[in-house]
Amino acid sequence: MSDPIIKPIEAIIAETRRQIHPYVFKRLESRTPRKAGAKIARTITVTSGKGGVGKTSLVANLAICLAQAGQRVIILDADLGLANIDVVFGIRPKYNLMDVISGEMNIDEVMIQGPNGIQIIAGGSGVAELAELEAEKARKLFDQLKFLEDKTDYLLIDTGAGISDGVISFCQAADQIIVITTTEPTAMADAYGIIKILSSRRPESHVSVMVNRVDSDEDGNEIYQRLAKVAKEFLGFDIHSLGFIPQDRQMHLAVRQQTPLMLFSPMSPAASGLRRIVSTSFHELPENLNGDGIEGFLSRLTRFFKGGSAQ
């Protein structure tokens, strides 16, 4: 039997984590709850029926735009298959949500500092684990996540493309859903597909459409009006316009440089369009659409994933 003094440093660190882990949860659980009447964070899921419409880049740049406007923002990368919000920011997360679920780390340790004070939580395979989470693990995880309420004004959830159960669950759980589309017919058809599912699964959902890569605001408005018309006529469901982002070569260059457009070329047409949306459309939306912030989002997400529930 080897002398414990000469155990590898990694083993010593792991042992220390196991010993202090129960006290970490006691500390988290003993935090002062959010004061009555305090501002509740808005949870916004950003999704698209089709890949390749610029969704993840828009999430990153919306986050920076909100942060530059004085808002506190956390991004949760909830793309189960191709999580890549870290690629857009040019960072490589060492840990992700799976490390929190496993009990090895707490939420503060896995959050990555992004530009302008943005915090990023890499999801990875940990997001999929929510579907099969045991009740006790779910309670401990959500006891940590719900305290993000004190740290942020907006929680932006970047989902995968398509209409998988995981994507729909994140959409149903959020206060607001932003559906990204372009002027391409296939992108419009897929955007309508996800709107159709949301209208039947959760009719009270607040769905906004953002049209990316438009040649003019008139083109963008035409796309929105077509989607709004068919949603109203065939689904009896109202959708809202968040705005339009112009076609911009600088966006492509920014992606290649792994630098968000708002930092790479802040005066470019697309960056100006994003600032316009944040300064107008975001603030025109009802505040606290469900009134229960991140804790309510997590509670709904648990039910929709059909896993354990936080107590």
The residues near 14 (Cβ < 8 Å, ≥ 6 apart) are 104
Residue range 71-88, pLDDT digits in tens? 999 998 887 555 577 778
Task: Render pLDDT for 240-256 as a digit per residue (tens, 0 to 9).
Answer: 999 999 999 999 999 99
Q: What is the pLDDT of residue 198?
A: 94
pLDDT beyond 50 at 181? yes
CA distance 164 to 194: 10
Distance (Å, whole) CA 118 – CA 107: 15
Calpha distance 240→210 (Å, rounded): 9
- Reported pTM: 0.82
Residue 22 confidence (pLDDT) above 60: no
Domains in the chain (CATH in brackets) are 39-177+249-305 (3.40.50.300)
Q: For residue range 138-167, what is the model confidence (pLDDT) as tens digits?
A: 677 777 777 788 889 999 999 877 787 778
Phi-psi region of 287 (alpha: psi -120 to 50; beta: other; left: phi over 0): beta
How much is the pLDDT for 295?
A: 77
